[in-house]
Chains A and B, each alone.
Chain A
Amino acid sequence: MDLLNLTAVEVGKKIQNKETSAVEATQAVLSQIDKVENTIHSYVTVDKEGALARAKKIQEQIEAGTLTGPLAGVPVAIKDNMCTEGMLTTCSSKILENFYPTYSAEAVLNLEKAGAVVIGKTNMDEFAMGSTTETSAYGITRNPWNTEHVPGGSSGGSCTAVAANECFFSLGSDTGGSIRQPSSFCGVTGIKPTYGTVSRYGLIAYGSSLDQIGPVAKSVTDCATILESIASYDKKDSTSYKRDSYDFTSALVDDVKGMKIGIPKGYFGEGLDKEVSQSVMAAAKELEKKGAILEEFDLGLIDYAIPAYYVIADAEASSNLARFDGVKYGFRAEEYNGLHNMYKKTRSEGFGPEVKRRIMLGSFVLSSGYYDAYYLKALRTKALIKQEFDKAFAKYDMILGPAAPTTAPKIGASLSDPIKMYLGDVYTISVNLAGLPGISVPCGIDSKGLPIGLQLIGDCFQENKILRAAYAFEQTREYKSPM
């Protein structure tokens, strides 16, 4: 049996049972990387030697009986916007082309404590701004299902690395759908937890009030297990939330009897691909067969989420990215005239077009005279969107819909029209504005041979409900691999 086809939890079990080892599992993904990386390009950095050394050390601890967890010895890939001590961390930007963090993100530390083996850093849209992984300064990533198509984004590399068996699981980050949309495009499972569940310490910030780290994997069981490992209350993140429970694996029960699932009519209107619509509705019917109660309803303000998001996210980005000034780390322009010109030259040469576009818009909406009209207006809209979700969750255990309106577009088809690209985030963005958990689970393949994702959205802190429904749905379907 080929090790690479196993899920993270399956390979972890085999490592504990001595049927394989952390070193063997690491060697297996490294040779797969050798084989497919030239075409897929999931990684910005592959730390071969470091990974093998870590695997060896972890294997010793497993044999000594000090590491017994489900992820001990399992190779993992980390999105390149999470700091990893001593390992290049670029955010897929030229401005961080030579940045070696002196500490690791809390989520990465939590994984290391659990014995996971960090293999390398995955490609992404520059600073997580994009939906296609085409804005990376280090080249595009291709979808393993069809290399003429994008993997989605911004956590594109994290999702292709899992789909192409270049790791057993990965971490992504999700500000407006950046875990769920590429998971959908690549046929893997990804969850964005409730805001505040996973520490953002060491995650290079884009939109701080929206960013969350989450797992990407081949199964719902993996996602629940990984989330249990990375979620923690962290004093170093002032928006970290002390939850009553960090148990997610107890949700893995094949039972949805009596669960009330709301289906927003507005999610199935204009702009939604017919095949995606049919596949997602067929998935809903599977849950109904298992005893869930489906009901269509009107979710208000759907069309207002994207404009509100781009004001808030870009405003926060313009402030967060002010730190990249060519002084403390990263790239500095070679020619300049004085300090201020050095800042300007460094930033203008170091950032790509999409990042500049968002910093410009963000600076504008925060500027005096426009702050109330744009920024505060967007924050008021956010409050109204949250109210709409509150109303929905008073009636339903979860909301069901697509993760994206289409399957993966062709490479080069999206960047020329930013607003059109932004519209592709219609089903994912409002979830971030309201701080909710959302999961994307593979539910079908379209006639072009590209995967379709089902999205389940829960109320705040109700990960276990969506994990349970996702798990129940997953039991009706075999995992399909592009490899």
Chain B
Amino acid sequence: MANIISDETIEYVGILAKLELSDEEKEQAKKDMGDMLDYIDKLNELDTTSVEPMSHVFPLNNVFREDVVVNGDDSENILKNAPEEKDGSFAVPKTVD
């Protein structure tokens, strides 16, 4: 079955993905996503009802440690990478009026 991606879906995914697409990009994204989902639907041929989802191939446990600082203060160098900084902090556009 062919997957038809609606304008609403592309809008919604754009919000989730924090991407602003041009009209042309949106049309392309609708087609690309539909094609990929058609292809991915091949997985429905498999009966997986009694199969546990496997997120990792090895049995991994949470790795706990004491919350002790081991690295030094590197904030000056870290902030050098910031597009904008102010008084030792990352600066962002105004969020509340």
Contacts and interface: CB of A to CB of B under 8 A. Distances in A.
A339 B35 contact: no
Interface in A202-228: 209
A318 interface: yes
Contacts of A384: 46, 48, 51
A329 B81 CA distance: 5
Nearest to A321: B17
Given A303-B42, A343-B18, A364-B13, A357 B32 contact: yes
24 contacts: A209-B56, A241-B58, A303-B42, A306-B39, A307-B39, A310-B36, A310-B40, A326-B83, A328-B81, A329-B83, A331-B83, A338-B94, A342-B93, A344-B19, A351-B19, A356-B25, A357-B32, A360-B32, A361-B32, A364-B13, A364-B33, A380-B54, A384-B51, A460-B57
Contacts of A325: 18
Contacts of B90: 327-328
A367 interface: yes
Contact of B43 (A304, A326, A331, A460): A304
Contact of B16 (A329, A345, A367, A383): A367
A419 B35 contact: yes
Contacts of B48: 377, 380-381, 384
Question: Interface centre among A310, A330, A363, by most B CB within 10 Å?
Answer: A363
B43 A381 contact: yes
Interface in B20-63: 20-21, 25, 29, 32-33, 35-37, 39-46, 48, 51-58, 60, 62-63
Given A327-B92, A348-B21, A386 B82 contact: no
A367 B9 CA distance: 11
B84 interface: yes
B54 A386 contact: yes
Interface residues of A, number: 67
Given A360-B32, A381-B43, 17 more contacts: A235-B63, A239-B60, A304-B42, A328-B82, A330-B83, A344-B19, A345-B20, A347-B17, A348-B19, A348-B21, A351-B19, A359-B19, A377-B44, A378-B43, A383-B53, A386-B57, A434-B57
B26 to A, nearest CB: 10
A318 B83 CA distance: 22
A361 B93 contact: no
Judged by DSSP, the binding face of A is helix
Contacts of A328: 78, 81-82, 90
**Nearest 8 Cβ contacts at the A-B interface:** A379-B53, A435-B57, A332-B83, A329-B81, A380-B48, A383-B54, A363-B16, A344-B20
A246 interface: no
A322 interface: yes
B81 to A, nearest CB: 4
A100 B17 contact: no
B46 A304 contact: yes
Contact of B81 (A100, A360, A367): A100
Interface in B52-81: 52-58, 60, 62-63, 65, 74, 77-78, 80-81
B84 to A, nearest CB: 7
Contacts of A307: 39-43
A26 to B, nearest CB: 27
A348 B51 contact: no
A308 interface: yes
Contact of A360 (B17, B77, B95): B17
